[in-house]
Structure 1
């Protein structure tokens, strides 16, 4: 046997055992190559619907979204769509051709570097000083600055946590308070969220949008720095332990919902391309001490140009808030935000979660229950029992019908959010007029409330 293996062959005079060894090695390399192809083959990514963390989980693990039945009750109010004109002049978001949302940073040679290789040049003596972004807005923070502001991203500074990042309370060197969101690099989502917020949201300003102050991009770190809003979020005030009486009066709730609607109007009708938020929910609405709402968390936002009526994307959002047509087809546009807004609207009025499996079967889905209460002419049952002062039945019914129009199964029948603002503000004014009439009648019980002389004698 050894004799045959040592026999010389006609291939360059090599022995047979050498030829066999080379062939075996080549075969082994080929097998390794084929195995690597199998393991690196892309896998399909499932739909991600975030369950509401405070609701009892559904009895099955299915992520199927409940389909809404057609709305039986049509809105009683008739509003001219012409009143829903754009409330804000268009602001154009500049996008580099061929590289949408690509953030570039200046490098030492005076050129630019992509965010993946971003390095902030050091000042003389190696000390990194404050620098203003070349993007024309915001501050470029160093990792060292943000570590110092948050006690090294300490757990005692955590004020919020989501699927893509942890939010810390920070105090900068100038004693200003900030919220620092350290993005988690899950499947590259940190890079996507960073790009969307920095490029699209960073340069827009609205009193009902959480302001993005700046950012940090060092190495693999992607960090966003926001204004600090010190009164928690809407979910905490609606569903948290606030005692037997909620501090959220009807007027405050209407103020919050109108503020959210105005913020969405700005995103949908005041920007070009328009911004579709895709994740409107109570935990993403921050509140200041005056109960002014701030829409936050634009990590899932999409830009929609004037030449497109919708975009098709991977379905992501929170169970109960996702529009049915978006959940079934992946097609999303500004009317998907209107649906989520309608759900949030009913949640704020009722104090109930959009989907709550703790409740009886007919009350699990908030939309179906609200429609039933309106159709049975008992809208007052929808009101949060912790609300002290109640609106009149007529105003409540009209407001609920606005919310129901927002969640119409047919997306084309949903009103534009600017139209919603107009309808809500008219209802708000009706409530003011109604209460003024009640107050005047108490001032002049024996005469006309509009009788100037009588009112003057009474108040003297």
Structure 2
């Protein structure tokens, strides 16, 4: 019986202790005679202020309630509700710069020996910040903008979990119920302010409220974050404050502190709080107290502004130049020159926009040469060296029917290709933009352009030192000089390989309507795919229609199928561009239409080589012979169908 009573007594006593711990609270209206666990610069002054750091530079200070607290509800596994409020003041001798601030913290240990001062607030270092094993919950009052931690400004309040990158932060301010508006505050001005940190275990919500020393607690919190602290907290933990000094003379004080577990922290008696020391030297004349600081700060800001402009300018024109590019320097343009040439890539200099980038007109600052600059996004580093090597190799192409690629510039995942400027723009504008009468092309001009593009492709496929596959032959990539001569341009997608070898499988790129059907199976870009696209281009020029018109009826949507249907009816000339009227050479038109269908044949082996195409267009082979070849190709198409 005695044993049972003893066990019951111990259980009741343990329950009573647990209840006391669960509902623990303390209130310090000043710290005179208070038992606090202090380290670093932290000390209690003679009048009862808790001073975390003083003017000693690059140091840190910590102050903790000396006993560990049980934050975890063992029966539910969740964190108890808790509430705390404290009054603080931070002073910086540089009135425009606050330096690092301070933080209220909940941590499993008081040992922050390895933590760094300065921007790290005496909480973490470069190796342990961000680790879930820290189990640190903090509310930071930060007075410096640190880019490393993505700080929003140099005067903010943030909620930190295991890291100094706040998961929620906002500029220091408070909601004035009297004025019904948000009022800004300066954390480092040396004025006392009060903070309330409240966590609801049932709602899993953490609220942080800030207000001036003599203002009532605002009804609207400054920060309100829905967060479950159970995965972060361990049991038991310490509560306290951490602060750190930097290169500036700073003083951080806590005037009073109240804490309550499972309830609302008791309000501080503000009249009993210790007085802050007089901050700064004795009052001097206005020229010393106002003039010199203003001049100094102004000079500092001007210096910072100048440095910022210099750094911004350097960053703006920064380029990526690697050792392997040294061989290509004669072909490489400076980004700064291209930026100046295009007036900062302004929309006013925009010549056109395609699927692979925008093209701008520019005038090179030194030579005053007119150029066209195409910006191509190129984010993948795989094969980048080979890609640039091919671009430079293609830049060696020299043919009067090809727009010269003058060089390139590589910068921040972007490739800029520089071409000769063609004053009359691209052919597609003349074919499809009929807003002015000057934009019309007669048949003789169109036929001359067709022959120029054919000669350009023959040069690329057979006459240069390597086989070049353009991969994007279309009217928008045919540019016109001031005499309306056609030149094949835009080699941003081109690929090249040695004569007598097979092309490697590559990513399928190009424009819908010009893509050869075998590309969808093999992905190999060989000259035959350019021939297919050239066939679509021939029909485009002759018929004045795009290869695919999604808004047209089903029988008219695909240009090749539409022309074949008219050929089958023996009325192929009815597909001629109505804008030409009857002003064209019938034999030349029939040649172009049949050659377009032949080149666009779905069977690659049926398509002619570009040398054959040029012979047809130059009249070296009679139309009757082309007609026989064409009829045979159409029969093959019917058999396949």
Class of the TM-score when normalised by the shorter of the 2 chains: 0.5 to 0.7
Q: Which has the higher strand share?
A: 2
Alignment of 1:140 with 2:344, yes or no, is: no
TM-score (normalised: structure 2): 0.44
Correspondence 1:22-41 to 2 at 5 A: none
* Aligned counterparts of 1:146 and 1:197: Cα–Cα separation in 2: 21
Query: 1:292 maps to what in 2?
Result: 485
Instruction: Name segments (4+ residues, structure 1) moved above 6 Å.
Output: 427-430
Structure 1 unaligned residues grouped into runs of 5+: 1-27, 30-114, 122-132, 431-460
Secondary structure at the counterpart of residue 386 of structure 1 = helix
* Aligned counterparts of 2:429 and 2:508: Cα–Cα separation in 1: 26
Correspondence 1:51-450 to 2 at 5 A: 116-118=320-322, 135=328, 138-173=330-365, 174-188=367-381, 191=384, 195=388, 198-217=391-410, 222-243=415-436, 247-426=440-619
1:229 deviates by 0.5
Contact 1:181 1:225 in 2 (8 A): yes
Structure of larger gyration radius: 2
Structure 2 unaligned residues grouped into runs of 5+: 1-131, 134-318, 624-641
Q: Which has the higher helix share?
A: 1
1:332 deviates by 2.5
* Aligned counterparts of 1:377 and 1:348: Cα–Cα separation in 2: 21
Contact 1:281 1:321 in 2 (8 A): yes
- The structure-2 alpha-carbon separation of the partners of 1:428 and 1:357, relative to structure 1 and needing over 3 Å to count, comes to farther
* Aligned counterparts of 1:308 and 1:134: Cα–Cα separation in 2: 26
Q: For structure 1, which segment, 217-226 or 340-349, has the greater mean C-alpha deviation from structure 2 after superposition?
A: 217-226
* Aligned counterparts of 2:427 and 2:382: Cα–Cα separation in 1: 26
Contact 1:215 1:225 in 2 (8 A): yes
Q: For structure 1, which segment, 147-156 or 315-324, has the greater mean C-alpha deviation from structure 2 after superposition?
A: 147-156
Secondary structure at the counterpart of residue 209 of structure 1 = coil
Contact 2:390 2:496 in 1 (8 A): no
TM-score (normalised: structure 1): 0.61
* Aligned counterparts of 2:395 and 2:451: Cα–Cα separation in 1: 23
Contact 2:391 2:492 in 1 (8 A): no
1:406 deviates by 0.6
* Aligned counterparts of 2:346 and 2:525: Cα–Cα separation in 1: 38
Query: 2:183 maps to what in 1?
Result: none
Contact 1:250 1:389 in 2 (8 A): no
* Aligned counterparts of 1:428 and 1:292: Cα–Cα separation in 2: 24
**RCO higher in 1 or 2 (8 Å CA, sep ≥ 6)?**
1
* Aligned counterparts of 1:315 and 1:255: Cα–Cα separation in 2: 31
- The structure-2 alpha-carbon separation of the partners of 1:384 and 1:275, relative to structure 1 and needing over 3 Å to count, comes to same
- The structure-2 alpha-carbon separation of the partners of 1:321 and 1:187, relative to structure 1 and needing over 3 Å to count, comes to same
Contact 1:246 1:388 in 2 (8 A): no
* Aligned counterparts of 2:621 and 2:447: Cα–Cα separation in 1: 7
Secondary structure at the counterpart of residue 318 of structure 1 = coil
* Aligned counterparts of 2:566 and 2:575: Cα–Cα separation in 1: 7
* CA shift digits 1:157-183 (9 cap, x unpaired): 121223333221111223221112233
- The structure-2 alpha-carbon separation of the partners of 1:188 and 1:385, relative to structure 1 and needing over 3 Å to count, comes to farther
RMSD of aligned alpha carbons: 3.3
Q: How many residues align?
A: 309
- The structure-2 alpha-carbon separation of the partners of 1:354 and 1:274, relative to structure 1 and needing over 3 Å to count, comes to same
* Aligned counterparts of 2:491 and 2:383: Cα–Cα separation in 1: 12
